[in-house]
Structure 1
Amino acid sequence: MGDKHRISFEPVDIEMEVDEDEKILDAAFRQGIHLMHGCREGQCSACKSYVLDGEIQMERYSTFACNDAEVEEGYVLLCRAHAFSDCTIELLNFDEDELLNSAPLQEIRTEVLELVPHTHDIVGLKLKPVDPPGFEFKPGQYADLIIPGTDEHRSFSMATTPATTGHLEFLIKKYPGGRFSSLLDDGIEAGDTIHLRGPYGNFTLKKGHVLPLVLMAGGAGMAPVLGLLRHLADTGDTRRIRFYYGARTPADLFYLDEIRALGERLTDFGFVVALSESDEGFGECGVPAERGMVTEVVEAGESELHRCEVYLCGPPPMVDAALALAARQGVPDDQVFYDKFTTSVREDE
């Protein structure tokens, strides 16, 4: 362990201790402080903050998340930052309701209950918490799954809610050569042990908010949105809710029956599929479907996006296009929440 230092966060008047060997964001999680974050790999800029005083150095990060000029000016990514003195840091993005009131970081041992192939490249993984026998989180959050036999992890969003009893569900996209996803075909089976750490993420419903919701997802981005929808239905939310899901072809669609059933439990729900590579099979979807990218379909269908809270989840190109759409439509930054499924600094998944 290295020397310890004090970190003071402004303007929220919160202090914590950090070891030189640990990243500032990890130290915050350890002490129950829920700072804004996303990929935790230095790629998404969600944890970007400003150093008012003190010495901080960063591990490798993407200059797209924090460019050289910003670094020279004093901006840092807390997920990559180490403190080498007492520091004062200005938080640029924070949620006062969640800073000290989020679910605590937990490490648990789970048992694989089931693997369910949903499409040719998306698999459902159901895990049963064993030790301890429960896991506290908020709908929309994600967890790190430790690759069996290694110290490495991969991050996946949960599709279940805290009200789900007996299991946690993850929807995982398979990548050729992926260290974790390749095990879904050969290497992981029912009864196996997988260790889990979390929860992480700010892709959560905000307490007391009443604006209509527009949810956009693509690929395995279905997972946290499904978690939100399940929770909204369970709690009897009465807001206008629209869910747009982007896929290439009808063969890439799944969970349509459950989404339809959840919609029947909600007061004002609409679901539209956007198919980017197929004009065939629309009638086979069983739900409204349109040709085009999901952002194009949303732009055509949502004339008052600026009056909504917008939740975006999926691969980086989709999320980036959706963020650009939100900016064009004048959606305030504090009404946009996103989870970008980056491939991290690792090239294998």
Structure 2
Amino acid sequence: MLHTILPVFLMNGILLVIAIVLIIAERLLVTYGECKITINKEKIIAVNGGDSLLSYFAQNKIFIPSACGGKATCGYCKVEVLSGAGHILPTEEVFVNREERLKGIRLACQVKVKNDIEVLISEDLLQAKEYKTRILRITDVTSDIKYVVMQLSEPNEINFKPGQYIQFRIPEIEEFRAYSIASPPSQKNILELIVRLVPGGLCSSYIHEVLDVQDEIIVTGPYGDFYLREDSEREIVCIGGGCGMAPIRSILYHLREKGMPRKASYFFGARSKKDLFYTEELMALEGESSGRFSYFPVLSEPKPDDKWSGETGFVTQAVERHMHSNGDTEAYLCGPPPMIDAALKVLAKKGVQDIHIYYDKF
């Protein structure tokens, strides 16, 4: 059997070495000369070809989101390529659906600039900036979630929509991770984040174990299509769990500052009572809203010591029990994919139209 397996291992090893040699040779020997990247048919960036679109954007202070450091594992860095990019790569296919491919959507981290290339970037993305911040406060809100307060220093103000996110750069390495903003847009000099510790997570481990008050941190943003639609008068239902609290909190506190102009309800799912946080402030918001806001904390596995008399089961079951069927409702969902998928089914039963449902899976 060893005689059969050994040649296979040798062949695989040889192929791997050849692949590595070819990659190194291409980087050392192949030059593409000067290439022009045309953005929105207006701005032209001249570069020495050979690197990715994402790299050239970063070098020119165009802050396209990328939470994976250009490894094609997050799918955030989508841009529309009009010409010059070649065929889509297998690494992109999982993130770019058929409709997007027909429009020329690509992952900027996977498009290598070998010749002149034309791209379209949304104006919102072009408005994203790099900000220097200083950590003001770090607080434990549960055993694995921290509340982080950052003060902007340069520039000292940020404009964002409630529900959007920033990217947090881990010092000394070019790695970014996305975190939703938990504070309302009126706090232009302050950013509040809610960060869960992910086992083995590079950035969450840094925030939980290394980050300290007075540390200086670079963030970029704002980003995201998940934000409150303020041109609507529809009733709002929010559904979330865990760190999905962050963008919903931003939305709710923005509505509070506006006098709660639209009725809203928030269904928040947790496993047991120790996993709930901000309960007091959300109950206070409910109490002061004159019936305009309702908060439903839901425990899926309450412990005997919790002495819990509130909602139990999955958070979507509580939505089914308490949400009135109403086609004139707008929904904002933030949480893990299974929760989002279950919530979409419940909302469909309740008559909420797809075009009025906004969600952020993580």
Aligned to 1:331: 352
When structure 1 is superposed on structure 2, of 128-137 and 246-255 the one drifting more is: 128-137
1:59 shift after superposition: 6.0
Aligned to 2:22: none
Residues matched between the structures, number? 320
Separation (CA, whole Å) in 2 of partners of 1:325 and 1:62: 31
SS at match of 2:227: coil
The answer to whether the 8 A contact 1:116-1:123 is kept is yes
Separation (CA, whole Å) in 1 of partners of 2:232 and 2:319: 22
Aligned to 1:295: 316
1:3 and 2:32 matched: no
1:307 shift after superposition: 2.2
- The structure carrying a bigger helix percent of its residues is 2
Using a 3 Å threshold, how does the CA distance of structure 1 residues 151 and 23 change in structure 2: closer, same or farther?
A: closer
1:164 and 2:183 matched: no
From 123, 139, 142, the counterpart of 2:162: 139
Using a 3 Å threshold, how does the CA distance of structure 1 residues 297 and 208 change in structure 2: closer, same or farther?
A: same
When structure 1 is superposed on structure 2, of 271-280 and 154-163 the one drifting more is: 271-280
Separation (CA, whole Å) in 1 of partners of 2:66 and 2:238: 18
Aligned to 1:224: 247
Greater relative CO (CA pairs within 8 A, separation 6+): 1
Q: 1:182-226 deviations in whole A, cap 9, x for unaligned? A: 233431111111111111112211232111000011100101100
Instruction: Give ranges in structure 1 of 5+ residues lacking alignment.
Output: 9-13, 92-98, 342-349
Aligned to 2:53: 22
Q: 1:199-254 deviations in whole A, cap 9, x for unaligned? A: 11122112321110000111001011001111000011321201000110111001
Q: 1:57-113 deviations in whole A, cap 9, x for unaligned? A: 55664655435x668766634555637665688x9xxxxxxx647892111111111
Aligned to 2:299: 275
When structure 1 is superposed on structure 2, of 140-149 and 174-183 the one drifting more is: 174-183
Q: What letter matches 1:223 in structure 2?
A: A
Using a 3 Å threshold, how does the CA distance of structure 1 residues 226 and 214 change in structure 2: closer, same or farther?
A: same
When structure 1 is superposed on structure 2, of 332-341 and 169-178 the one drifting more is: 332-341
Using a 3 Å threshold, how does the CA distance of structure 1 residues 52 and 4 change in structure 2: closer, same or farther?
A: closer
From 51, 58, 76, the counterpart of 2:105: 76
Q: How does 1:186-265 map to 2 (within 5 A)?
A: 186-265=209-288
The answer to whether the 8 A contact 1:122-1:174 is kept is yes
Q: What letter matches 1:275 in structure 2?
A: L
SS at match of 2:202: coil
Separation (CA, whole Å) in 2 of partners of 1:70 and 1:166: 39
Separation (CA, whole Å) in 2 of partners of 1:132 and 1:88: 28
Separation (CA, whole Å) in 2 of partners of 1:44 and 1:326: 27
Using a 3 Å threshold, how does the CA distance of structure 1 residues 274 and 80 change in structure 2: closer, same or farther?
A: farther
1:266 shift after superposition: 3.0
Separation (CA, whole Å) in 1 of partners of 2:277 and 2:239: 15
Separation (CA, whole Å) in 2 of partners of 1:72 and 1:312: 26
Q: What letter matches 1:295 in structure 2?
A: T
Using a 3 Å threshold, how does the CA distance of structure 1 residues 111 and 31 change in structure 2: closer, same or farther?
A: closer
Using a 3 Å threshold, how does the CA distance of structure 1 residues 60 and 158 change in structure 2: closer, same or farther?
A: farther
1:323 shift after superposition: 2.9
Separation (CA, whole Å) in 1 of partners of 2:323 and 2:295: 13
Q: What letter matches 2:36 in structure 1?
A: K
1:312 shift after superposition: 0.6
The answer to whether the 8 A contact 2:96-2:106 is kept is yes
From 49, 63, 66, the counterpart of 2:96: 66
- Determine what percentage of the aligned residue pairs are the same residue: 32
Aligned to 1:345: none
The answer to whether the 8 A contact 1:57-1:81 is kept is no
TM-score by length of 1: 0.76
Using a 3 Å threshold, how does the CA distance of structure 1 residues 325 and 234 change in structure 2: closer, same or farther?
A: same
Aligned to 1:11: none
Q: What letter matches 2:142 in structure 1?
A: T
Separation (CA, whole Å) in 1 of partners of 2:140 and 2:174: 26
The answer to whether the 8 A contact 1:112-1:192 is kept is yes
1:104 and 2:127 matched: yes
1:141 shift after superposition: 1.1
1:295 shift after superposition: 1.7
From 307, 317, 325, the counterpart of 1:304: 325
The CA RMSD measured in Å over matched residues stands at: 3.8
Separation (CA, whole Å) in 1 of partners of 2:104 and 2:297: 39
When structure 1 is superposed on structure 2, of 217-226 and 313-322 the one drifting more is: 313-322
SS at match of 2:274: helix
**Structure number, greater radius of gyration:** 2
